[in-house]
């Protein structure tokens, strides 16, 4: 490998890091000073930069037209079957109604228990949220907009003031 400029391995690594915008500001200033006074280092930097830009000539291959469908088809085998179509009619037609009633009862009790355990309560998080990272993540996704604007909300004295700001008539009609 030809090294025209007099650089050691660390300096070469710093030069490429500089070109990638990954050098800290002090080291970058020092390297810029060297680039200004040393044409050999400058020539190397330019050659490295131009070589890097040449990679843009590589074609950017994309997926074939059938890729999505083939992938989702393979995934569908792994998916738990939510509803399996029945080949024939119901063997016991009366069982359909009883089944539905049982399902509604079960869903109601599961829903009530779930809400009681998982729903965020004023003044604190649920017990599960503190122990289960998956539940915590779900809560964070739900509350993301509030979290992101927390600093702004802290500056506001009351929620009524925010509502007034959102009122179209507050600043008059400029249309």
Q: Do residues 31 and 18 touch, judged by C-beta distance below 8 A?
A: yes
Q: Name the strand (E) or helix (H) holding 45.
A: helix 39-54
In the list 24, 27, 32, 70, the residue contacting other proteins (rule: CB under 8 A) is 70
CB of 94 to other proteins, least distance (A): 32
Binder of other proteins out of 35, 48, 118, 128 (CB under 8 A): 48
- Closest CB 19 distance from other proteins, rounded Å: 8
What's the min distance (Å) between Cβ of 156 and other proteins?
A: 21
Question: Cβ distance 162 to 156 under 8 Å?
Answer: yes
* Burial (Cβ within 10 Å: 0-12, 13-18, ≥19) of residue 14: buried
Q: In 3-state terms, the chain is what percent helix, strand and coil (to 5)?
A: 70, 0, 30
Give kind and range of the element (H or E) at residue 166: helix 159-166
Q: Which stretch binds other proteins (CB under 8 A): 13-21, 84-92, 152-160, 166-174?
A: 13-21
Per DSSP, 63 falls in state -
Q: Which residues bind other proteins (CB under 8 A)?
A: 1-2, 4-6, 9, 12-13, 15-17, 19-20, 22, 38-40, 42-44, 46-48, 50-52, 54-55, 57-64, 67-68, 70-72, 74-75, 78, 130, 133-134, 136-138, 140-141, 144, 147-148
């Amino acid at each position: 490998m030809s090294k025209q400029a007099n650089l050691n391995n660390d300096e070469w690594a710093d030069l490429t890091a500089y070109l990638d915008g990954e050098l800290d500001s002090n080291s970058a200033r020092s390297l810029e000073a060297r680039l200004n006074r040393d044409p050999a280092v400058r020539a190397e930097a330019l050659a490295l930069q131009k070589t890097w830009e040449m990679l843009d000539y590589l074609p950017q291959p994309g997926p074939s037209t059938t890729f999505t469908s083939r992938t989702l088809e393979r995934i569908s085998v792994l998916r738990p079957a939510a509803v399996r179509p029945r080949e024939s009619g119901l063997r016991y037609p009366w069982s359909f109604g009883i089944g539905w009633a049982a399902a509604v009862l079960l869903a109601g009790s599961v829903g009530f228990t779930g809400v009681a355990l998982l729903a965020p309560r004023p003044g604190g998080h649920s017990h599960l949220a503190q122990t289960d990272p998956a539940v915590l993540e779900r809560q964070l996704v739900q509350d993301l907009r509030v979290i992101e604007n927390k600093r702004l909300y802290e500056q506001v004295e009351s929620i009524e003031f925010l509502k007034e700001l959102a009122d179209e008539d507050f600043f008059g009609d400029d249309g």
